[in-house]
Amino acid sequence: SQKIEQNSEALNIQEGKTATLTCNYTNYSPAYLQWYRQDPGRGPVFLLLIRENEKEKRKERLKVTFDTTLKQSLFHITASQPADSATYLCALVPPGYSTLTFGKGTMLLVSP
């Protein structure tokens, strides 16, 4: 079965720096990979989707890369702000399946 690994330790960075979060997966390469933000006690909020034939996707201060050879996606937040503090979830649909599988998420803490 598909396994998704995200850094379990919280990432602490200073305001203004770039945060980089990692999502690694095993077995099959997904056709799509998604990133969500989750605040405590709230539902996930969709941020970005990247397809297997795309290397990079950007949206404002967010950037996602997708390396199917390494079986890895990187999620970057540039010019980070304290309001970016949250847990970021990686999710994918393995080929041949239609159900979304989430990683456990990485907590990001941005200090002023």
- Contact (CB, 8 A) for 52 and 72: no
Cβ 107 to another protein shortest distance, Å: 11
Where does this chain bind another protein (CB under 8 A)?
Answer: 31-32, 34, 38, 41-46, 49, 89, 91, 93, 98-105
Cβ 16 to another protein shortest distance, Å: 29
Nearer residue to another protein within complex by CB, 4 or 77: 4
Nearer residue to another protein within complex by CB, 5 or 76: 5
